[in-house]
Chains A and B, each alone.
Chain A
Amino acid sequence: MELILALAIGILVGSGVWLMLRPRSYQVIIGLCLLAYGVNLFIFAMGRLYIGGAPIMPKGGFVDPSAYADPMPQALVLTAIVISFATTALFLVLMIAARGATGTDHVDGRERHS
């Protein structure tokens, strides 16, 4: 499981970084999305990996915590997902505005050889 998760994060982040360095704004936004996915999985993994462990303890809380998954990264990742989703939406709007204002989807607003 660790290997699969590590590979997944690695591939997501790697492709994200590569796409983010591309000149088209659409590639940049997809790259940022992939990066955000990779980072979110990474945050999730930082709470250690559990199989079948519930993150919420029953009322009272007097239980063996080792049988439960760490709820903290799950809360963190939820916040991170919401924030990255919102900023990605904003980026998308800006991307369309830039396309309309400059007439090209190059991130610098002009083609390199023109």
Chain B
Amino acid sequence: MMNDGTMPDHLMIAPILIPLVAGAIMLFYNDRNRQTKLIMGLVAVGLTFLASVELMSGVKSVTEQGGTVVGLYRLGDWPVPIGIVLVLDRLSAMMVMLTALLAAPSLIYAAAGWHGKGQHYHSMFQFLLAGVNGSFLTGDLFNLFVFFEVMLAASYGLMLHGSGPERIKAGLHYLAVNLAASLFFLIGVALVYGTTGTLNMADIGRALYWLDDAERLLFHAAATFLGLAFLIKAAAWPLCFWLPPTYGAASPPAAAIMAIMTKVGIYVILRLSLLVLGPDAGPSAGFGAPVLMIGGVLTMGFGMIGILGTPELVRKGGYLAIISSGTVLASIGFAQAGGGSSMLGGALYYMVGSTAAISAFFLIADPVSRNDEGDDDAPVETDGFDPLSERWAPMGLGTVEDTTAPASHRTVSWLTMAICFSLVAAMIAGLPPMPGFIGKFAILRGAVQDNLPTSGHLPVILWAYAAMLILSGLGALIALMRFGIRRFWAEEGPAPRILALEVVPVVLLLGMIGLQTVRSDALLGYTNATASALLEPGVYRRAVLAGAQDVRAAPVQSLAPDPQPQTQTQTTQEEAE
């Protein structure tokens, strides 16, 4: 525990509570007060960011003092395997911070007019953040399901924000796919409970040790169902066909924040596959690793083909998200199969940068393809509105009551857009000195360094991964360059009017990406330490279960929280390590 268990560290629940409360308070205001809500939203995001900075520095300083790396928050102070816990470690601290960093640009972008295109944009945005942060922080499998549903419910609203036939059509598919995925998730959770008798993620790893063969088979079925559910959310091939149309149809600020949602799926896979099915899991060690490796490489290949094949710029963003997912998924598979920690550290570094870049891409894709009438890359203008007037008017169905003018009318030049676009494209393609390059380089170096000495040669799948890593960057580069040349160089005629409010968020994200390059040693050090901590699940498990009672071994016991501190003394069951 972070402060010796005398006082629970209430800061840990702040990243969930702040957006939840902020979103709830906003509901009391009339939805016309969008500027007020915007400011409240920005304040909430800022507070969440401060909390995440504090949490991260706490995790770092505790690690440097040689303490346990894991902070624990018992909700309702119930004893550990019974109650729901929030668990904070390096990975979850990093993800919470990334969420806050991506949220602010998306909110600013929405101020350019999108938040006026429907009801309750800001509340849903905050609820989405609460769900995402909760998924990152929870240490309980069923609680994870609940936070997932909070996140998804908010994302349905955000995805449909602005309405219109295209969005409704894509939303119908998105909703159906995610409902089915949630049912898979539930089947998996139920099977896990049926076999291990616990839902605490750390306790599952411990209980797995005692399973006999028949139960282990069922547990593997549970892991398969859970994996299926999370691979759908993480958009791994062949479960990723929902993603490009959905993200393409969503309004740009919603798509930008939804870029973190695929990473929630990846986070859970990373967490569970290394914690439960990691190297020390006995007969279950490495279960699912081949699927992640091969699936990840195939996902990257699919994303590359998709980005080269699709004509619409916004849809290219969806395929970029798929490539990024595949890259991280494959390296999780390698790490689970014993491929070493530095590769995973590189992949985590890459994930931070690429998520920011994809978010920026969604934000810039809409302004630069405005008024675009090119031949090969023409975006589909379904409704024959003048695009500029359509931006401030209700679109599609007559469900939107009011329109708001943008918060600021300053515009920027077309050259600024060209520069921003080329920087984002360079980052996505992985050109030096962008973090995309550093991350991919770190992955490749880790792959060679850790795997070459042990066997003397690299396995075929690792070669395939390395090749895909480079080829997918090349594919993205070609696709984006084609668009850029045609749009920024070859096209004549007046440039579209672009508001400064639409560029500021992109510049902010680019600044974050730049900072990631400048401070790459610090961040890479952090992600490498995160990766090696993830590969030692015993530490995490011990820290979470330190005060745990084993309910199976001692059935006749009062399990309610006791007024006398009696339960504290009966603890310390042996841990199966």
Residues of chain A whose beta carbon lies under 8 Å from any beta carbon of chain B: 20, 25, 28, 32, 35-36, 39-40, 42-43, 45-48, 60-65, 72-73, 76, 79-80, 83-84, 86-88, 90-91, 94-95, 97-98, 100-102, 107-109
Contacts and interface: CB of A to CB of B under 8 A. Distances in A.
B190 A35 contact: no
Give the dominant DSSP class at B's interface. helix
Contacts of B189: 43, 76
B153 A97 contact: no
Interface residues of B, number: 38
A79 B182 CA distance: 13
A47 to B, nearest CB: 8
Nearest 5 A-B pairs (CB), nearest first?
A46-B194, A101-B165, A43-B190, A109-B169, A46-B190
A76 B286 CA distance: 29
A94 B174 CA distance: 11
Given A61-B560, A90-B156, A95 B172 contact: yes
Contacts of B160: 94
Give the dominant DSSP class at A's interface. helix
A32 B180 contact: yes
B179 interface: yes
B187 A39 contact: yes
Contacts of A76: 142, 189-190, 193
Interface of B: 142, 145-146, 149, 152-153, 156, 160, 163-165, 168-169, 171-173, 175-176, 179-180, 182-183, 186-187, 189-191, 193-194, 199, 396-397, 555-560
A101 B168 contact: yes
A94 B555 CA distance: 48
B176 A107 contact: yes
A79 B142 contact: yes
Contacts of B169: 98, 101-102, 108-109
B559 A61 contact: yes
Contact of B187 (A32, A42, A79): A42
Contact of B176 (A32, A39, A48): A32
Contacts of B176: 20, 28, 32, 91, 107
B153 A101 contact: no
A69 to B, nearest CB: 14
B560 A97 contact: no
Contacts of B556: 62-65
Contacts of A40: 186
24 contacts: A32-B179, A32-B180, A32-B183, A35-B183, A40-B186, A43-B189, A43-B193, A46-B190, A48-B194, A62-B558, A80-B186, A84-B179, A87-B175, A88-B179, A90-B175, A94-B156, A94-B172, A97-B168, A97-B397, A98-B169, A98-B172, A101-B396, A107-B172, A109-B169
